[in-house]
Amino acid sequence: MNVLEFDHASIRIGGHVVLAETSFAIKQGEFIGVLGPNGSGKTTLMRSILGLLRPSAGSIFVFGRTPRRGNALIGYVPQVRTVAPDLRMRGFDFIASSIRGDRWGLPTRGQADRNMIDDSLAAVGALDLAERPLSDMSGGERQRLLLAQALLGEPKLLLLDEPLISLDQRYQETIIELVGRFARERNITVLFSAHELNQLIGALDRVLYLGNGRAALGTVAEVVTSPVLSQLYGTDIDVVHADGHIFVFSRGRDVERHDHLHDHAQDRQHHA
């Protein structure tokens, strides 16, 4: 069965068409790298899957049904964490506090709930974070905690929106490895958006590359080519393979890197 299906789906925000008559299908257990320049619609795509915005035309199916809010089959780590957590909070309470529904806010938490939180912490190797305050954690440790939160309730689809932002190289690799292994073991479908293709290449099955209102889904060899990316970027793109890496250039400028420089600066402020 397709976990996710876009059938000639268009998504508009205000007057702006983010996706135009886009069709693709993703199967259970696939690890999909979601790529594309800043503003190409990676976050919007995830929000549409969550049922937070509807297509203006065409259809979207998630597990064969119209997207709806609060779908327990989906775990989500949003790109921008708008709620600044109380940094004195312990890891365990942070996870418990922000979960679906009010029952988590109740002072007496059932043993079953506690076990579930412990299981999700264990899954990302973060049991040691349960008792530690957020103020005491590195960026990588907090990212693990967010991941543990997304894993609660045993989702079958994980939407991870730029989870590598503002992490140093070592933590980036850890997070990718962790998500990849976890998803394989449990046959979970992953949509993992990122600035850069290279860091994800070892983990992904296919890429969903967005740009210019369009989307291309396929293997790296199928999608990350000069003709396909030139369409998506709306300008001549060169794809250069070197040193086991793939670089995407427009007129000699590395577009993946340059596009996102200001993004990183903003994120540093967010996380400071």
Which residue lies nearer to ligand ADP by CB, 120 or 193?
193
Query: Least distance in Å: CB of 123 to ligand ADP?
Result: 26
The neighbour count for residue 232, using CB atoms within 10 Å, is: 21
Nearer to Mg ion, 80 or 106 (CB): 80
With contacts defined by CB under 5 A, name the span among 39-47, 61-69, 89-97, 144-152 that binds Mg ion: 39-47
* Residues 6+ positions from 153 with CB-CB distance below 8 Å: 72, 75, 99, 100, 116
CB of 18 to ligand ADP, least distance (A): 5
* Binding partner selected for residue 106 from ligand ADP, Mg ion, none, CB under the kind-specific 5 to 8 Å limit: none
Could you give the string, one character per residue 102-141, with x where binding to Mg ion holds by CB under 5 A and - elsewhere? ----------------------------------------
**Burial per residue of 37-54, b for 16 or more beta-carbon CB atoms within 10 angstroms, e otherwise:** beebbbbbbbbbbbbebe
Instruction: Tell which positions 25-54 bind ligand ADP, by CB under 6 A.
Output: 36, 38-44
* Nearer to ligand ADP (CB atom), residue 38 or residue 198: 38
- C-alpha count within 13 angstroms, C-beta hemisphere, residue 253: 8
Candidate list 42, 47, 195, 214; residue touching Mg ion; CB under 5 A: 42
Output the smallest distance, CB 42 to ligand ADP, in A. 3
Instruction: Tell how strand 206-211 and strand 31-35 pair up.
Output: parallel
CA nearest to 237, candidates 246, 202, 227: 227
Residue 40 is a binding residue for Mg ion (CB under 5 A): no
Tokens of 181: 């292994």
Q: Shortest approach of ligand ADP to residue 41 CB, angstroms?
A: 4
Neighbours of 152 (CB within 10 A): 22
Q: CA–CA separation, 7 vs 215, rounded Å? A: 12
- Pick the piece of the chain touching ligand ADP (CB under 6 A) from 11-19, 22-30, 105-113, 183-191: 11-19
Region for 261 from its dihedrals, namely left if φ exceeds 0, alpha if ψ lies in -120 to 50, beta otherwise: alpha
Instruction: Report DSSP state, residue 198.
Output: G
Q: Pick from 33, 37, 40, 43 the residue near Mg ion by CB under 5 A.
A: 43
When the beta carbons of 17 and 246 are compared against ligand ADP, the nearer one is 17
Q: How far is CA 241 from the centre of its chain?
A: 25
Q: How far apart are the C-alpha atoms of 260 and 250, rounded to whole Å?
A: 15
Applying CB under 6 A, the residues found at the interface with ligand ADP are 13-14, 16, 18, 36, 38-44
Applying CB under 5 A, the residues found at the interface with Mg ion are 42-43, 79
